Structure 1
Amino acid sequence: MHKRALAALLILFVAVAALAPLHVFSIETPRNGRLLYLRTVSPDDRFTLSFIHSVENCPVRDHIKIDSGYRMVTYATEFWSSRTGLPYAPFGDETFTDEGDHFRIGNMNRIIPEIYQWVDKRYANRLVFGDGKEIALPDLAGDTLLKMSVTRVRLAQYAGMKLNLSIR
Structure 2
Amino acid sequence: MKIRLQILAILIAVTLLLFFVNFKLEKTKVLIIESETENIKHTIKIPQKKFTLSYIHSVQKTPVYEVFEIDEDNKLILKETTFSSLGVGLPFTEENGVFRNEQGKFKLTGLNREFTSIAIRVSPIPKHTIIIGENTHPLLSIVAPDDLVKIAAADRWMLVRRNNFTWKGLSEKNDGYQR
CA distance in 2 between partners of 1:102 and 1:23 (Å): 30
CA distance in 1 between partners of 2:105 and 2:27 (Å): 41
**Higher Rg:** 2
Partner of 1:31: 37
Q: Read off the aligned partner of 2:98 and give its amino acid letter.
A: T
> Residues 58-98 of structure 1: CA distance to partner in whole angstroms, max 9, x if unpaired?
11110111123332111110112221111121223x11001
Task: Give the 3 Å change call, closer, same or farther, for CA 80–22 of structure 1 in structure 2.
Answer: closer
Displacement after TM superposition at 1:57 (Å): 0.9
> Residues 29-81 of structure 1: CA distance to partner in whole angstroms, max 9, x if unpaired?
12344213x13445x52111101011221111101111233321111101122
Does the residue aligned with 2:85 lie in a helix, a strand or coil? Answer: coil
Q: TM-score when scaled to structure 1?
A: 0.70
CA distance in 2 between partners of 1:51 and 1:35 (Å): 21
Alignment of structure 1 residues 32-47 onto 2, 5 Å: 32-36=38-42, 38-41=43-46, 44-47=48-51
Partner of 1:78: 82
Q: TM-score when scaled to structure 2?
A: 0.66
CA distance in 2 between partners of 1:95 and 1:66 (Å): 21
> Residues 114-149 of structure 1: CA distance to partner in whole angstroms, max 9, x if unpaired?
01112222222211102x221111121221222110
Q: Structure 1 vs Structure 2: percent identity of aligned residues?
A: 24
Instruction: Select the residue among 123, 136, 156 that pairs with 2:138.
Output: 136
CA distance in 1 between partners of 2:29 and 2:112 (Å): 20
- Gaps in structure 2 of 5+ consecutive residues: 1-5, 17-25, 159-179
CA distance in 2 between partners of 1:23 and 1:47 (Å): 11
Does the residue aligned with 1:122 lie in a helix, a strand or coil? Answer: coil
Partner of 2:167: none
CA distance in 2 between partners of 1:71 and 1:139 (Å): 25
Displacement after TM superposition at 1:21 (Å): 6.3
Number of matched pairs: 148
CA distance in 2 between partners of 1:83 and 1:136 (Å): 25
RMSD (Å) for aligned C-alpha atoms: 3.0
CA distance in 1 between partners of 2:100 and 2:111 (Å): 13
CA distance in 2 between partners of 1:41 and 1:59 (Å): 23
CA distance in 2 between partners of 1:30 and 1:125 (Å): 16
CA distance in 2 between partners of 1:21 and 1:31 (Å): 30
CA distance in 2 between partners of 1:47 and 1:68 (Å): 15
Partner of 2:92: 88
Alignment of 1:111 onto 2:117: no
